């Protein structure tokens, strides 16, 4: 087991369940102390924190709405104050709203853009201000940025395409500090977002199954590690061939 802070501190925005929780656990396994944010499920966040501590790492669960700029800044500050210098930040928080173009309400549009675009930008901005030189910033986008193939996902796909474009440009901004910025684009994954959609999705996945959250976490682990030090501004799609 590595000693405390040998790897540094990782912060996972939206780390209380699903892919975010799997990422938080994997980063702890890799030797990081981990802070994670949540907005509505304190029990889930506490359970993930307990799993991290059981691995011998320090953990901190922080309530922070990804649409609230002040809350995001305070979350970063709290993570650094309690756990130490920030080395890795993963922006996982996101929402989905479906509907044909004539059915999407302004409220749904604003919600998706607020969390999936504005919230991602603010999380990157606040994390970049406190992350160590040579650190890692990683966003969790979606393969829908490349291809959807079915109606009703225009707003969600638009938001994830914006994230992919954002990452390319933030990577240029932070390159002088040797901070890498990359985007992971999962396809259909075993989370509550895919509940009730399995029968519709599976025929479209060449590998014939959904991803496990730990598989997405494995790609994040690579991007957060030393072997990915020359990789930046790139989107990595992990979807079982869905977009082929």
- List, as one string, the DSSP characters of 141-186: --GGGT---STT-HHHHHHHHHHHHHHHHHHHHHGGGT-EEEEEEE
CB atoms within 10 A of CB 150: 11
Closest CA to 66 of 109, 107, 114: 114
Establish whether 38 is a catalytic residue: no
Instruction: Give the integer Cα–Cα distance in Å for 39 and 42.
Output: 8
CB burial readout 13-32, b (16+ within 10 A) else e:
bbbbbbbbbbbbbbbbbbbb
Beta strand pairing status for 86-91 and 131-140? Answer: parallel
Q: Which is catalytic among the residues 140, 156, 184, 219?
A: 156
Instruction: Give the integer Cα–Cα distance in Å for 86 and 76.
Output: 8
Instruction: Give the integer Cα–Cα distance in Å for 195 and 110.
Output: 24
Q: Just list the catalytic residues.
A: 156
């Amino acid at each position: 087991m590595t000693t405390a802070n040998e790897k540094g501190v990782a912060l996972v925005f939206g780390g209380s369940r699903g892919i975010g929780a799997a990422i938080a656990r994997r980063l702890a396994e890799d030797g990081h102390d981990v802070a994670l944010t949540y907005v509505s499920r304190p029990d889930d966040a506490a359970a993930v924190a307990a799993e991290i501590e059981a691995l011998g790492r320090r953990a901190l669960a922080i309530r922070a709405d990804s649409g609230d700029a002040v809350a995001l800044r305070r979350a970063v500050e709290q993570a650094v104050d309690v756990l130490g210098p920030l080395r890795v930040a993963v922006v996982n928080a996101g929402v989905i709203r479906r509907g044909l173009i004539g059915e999407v309400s302004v409220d749904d549009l604003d919600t998706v853009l607020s969390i999936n675009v504005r919230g991602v930008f603010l999380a990157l901005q606040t994390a970049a201000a406190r992350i160590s030189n040579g650190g890692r910033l990683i966003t969790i986008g979606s393969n829908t940025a490349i291809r959807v193939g079915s109606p009703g996902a225009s707003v969600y796909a638009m938001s994830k395409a914006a994230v992919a474009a954002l990452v390319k440009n933030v990577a240029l901004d932070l390159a002088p500090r040797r901070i890498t910025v990359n985007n992971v684009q999962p396809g259909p994954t075993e989370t509550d977002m895919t509940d009730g959609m399995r029968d519709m999705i599976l025929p479209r996945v060449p590998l014939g199954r959904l991803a496990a959250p730990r598989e997405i976490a494995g790609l994040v682990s690579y991007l957060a590690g030393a072997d990915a030090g020359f990789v930046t501004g790139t989107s990595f799609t992990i979807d079982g061939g869905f977009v082929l």
